[in-house]
Amino acid sequence: MASLSALLADALERGLVATNAVRSMKRERRRRTSKSEQKQKLKVGVDIPTPDEIKRLIPHLPDKYRPLLLTAIFTGLRASELRGLRWEDVKLSHAKLEVCQRADRYKKIDKPKSESSERTVPLMPMVANTLREWKLRCPKREHGRLEFVFPTGTGEIEYHSNILQRGLEPAQIAAGIVDGKGKPKYALHALRHFYASWCINREKDGGLGLSPKMVQERMGHSSITITMDRYGHLFPSGDDVAELAKAEKLFFA
């Protein structure tokens, strides 16, 4: 399939075919898979890394991929958004970054997935400091031009497979975050799920305790329905007996 896709891509550039059928087929398959995933409840510890797993993972992040993976964990950016992120979109003095473009798996720069995907995401101090240090040694493109935040060694757009195989997977193995067969437990997109869960978790549980609307904005979902279909079951139910008792006491004080 990979060879056929490469041949068709070359033929497409030469004007010998009208479309790359393999790419179209893969996009359709990903679309169906995405819709199927949206209907399933994501499980913490299965689809979503637990806070303990993230704490164990961070010390083992490889030096080259540590800035990228920390940003993925604590901003929830999609892999394509991370790969297309430019330094001009990172406002370190204001501890935030702006999602303005993305890079697809073929290294083509395009607009974000949807209009709502264009968003501003705040940076926690650890991430901002890591990016500030990384900027001093970040690889540049030709003529010494600093452009992409997480590039290859020559300053070009990084491959998704490199991030996974040279960054996230070795870190998981080193941290003992593996499945029953001893293989890395999570894919890169799981870090986005973790960020969503961290935004949702109550402050007393180490989370941010954000509202569904704020979670939607942070994640760049096109509608609140997507947010609730995917993560609605993670929000506190609001019927906790202890919380109700505390609220009653304060109300009648």
Please classify residue 160 by burial: count the beta carbons closer than 10 Å to its beta carbon, then call 0-12 exposed, 13-18 middle and 19+ buried.
Answer: middle
d(CA 197, CA 124): 16
**Per-residue pLDDT tens for 162-183?**
999 999 999 999 999 999 999 9
Kindly list the distances between the CA atom of residue 22 and the CA atoms of 2, 4, 182, in Å, as whole numbers in the listed order.
Answer: 8, 7, 32
Q: For position 100, what pLDDT does the model report? A: 96
Parent domain of 184: 51-234
Question: What pTM was estimated for this model as a whole?
Answer: 0.80
Apex 221 CA angle, 215 and 25, nearest 5 = 145
DSSP 12-69: HHHTS-S--HHHHHHHHHHHHHHHHHHHSPP-BTTTB--HHHHHHHGGG--TTTHHHH
Q: Which two tokens stand for residue 26?
A: 């893969």
| Mean of per-residue pLDDT scores for the chain | 90
169 occurs within a structural domain = yes
Domain count along the chain: 1
Q: Percent of the chain beyond pLDDT 90?
A: 70
Instruction: With respect to residue 30, please indicate whether it lies within any of the assigned structural domains.
Output: no
38 pLDDT above the threshold of 60 = no
Q: What is the predicted pLDDT for the residue at 237? A: 73
Residue 190 in 3-state DSSP? helix
Please report, for the domain that includes residue 214, its CATH number.
Answer: 1.10.443.10
Does any domain span residue 241? no
